[in-house]
């Protein structure tokens, strides 16, 4: 008999958001760009489309990026 169900809404039980920010920060630094935490905060605890780090990186470097390659690299970090 199930007596309880626990839902982890990403970051409630295990802090994944901090390490996700660190991985993005490292990815940005690999491209010579800083990722301001204040800007990234729009993504935390809200809608994932509130701030798109990949679009921001593309804007900063002024050239197209391969999102899938960058996602794979970031997840490895």
**pLDDT tens for the chain, residues 1 to 77:** 999 988 776 667 777 888 889 999 999 999 999 999 999 988 876 665 688 999 999 999 999 999 999 999 998 88
Catalytic residue flag (residue 52):
no
On whether the CB atoms of residues 27 and 57 are closer than 8 A, the answer is yes
Active site residue 10: yes
Residue 11 maps to a domain: no
Q: Domain tally for the chain?
A: 1
Residue 24 inside a domain? The answer is yes
Helices 67-76 and 53-61 pack at an angle, to 10 degrees, of 110
User: Are the C-beta atoms of 65 and 57 separated by less than 8 Å?
Assistant: yes
pLDDT of residue 50: 81
- Asked if the structure places residue 36 within a domain, the reply is yes
Is 69 within the bounds of a domain? Answer: yes
pLDDT of residue 64: 95
pLDDT at 34: 96
Q: Of the residues 8, 15, 52, 69, which is catalytic? A: 8
Which residue range(s) make up the domain with 41? Answer: 17-76
Exactly one of 10, 15, 52, 69 is catalytic; name it: 10
C-alpha closest to that of 77 among 42, 28, 5: 28
C-alpha–C-alpha distance, residues 7 and 2, integer Å: 14
């Amino acid at each position: 008999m199930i007596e309880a169900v626990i839902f982890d809404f990403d970051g409630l039980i295990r802090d994944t958001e901090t390490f996700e920010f660190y991985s993005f920060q490292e990815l940005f630094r690999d491209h010579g760009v800083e990722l301001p935490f204040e800007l990234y905060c729009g993504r935390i605890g809200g809608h994932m489309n509130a701030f798109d780090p990949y679009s921001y990186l593309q804007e900063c470097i002024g050239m197209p990026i391969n999102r899938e390659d960058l996602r794979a690299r970031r997840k490895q970090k």
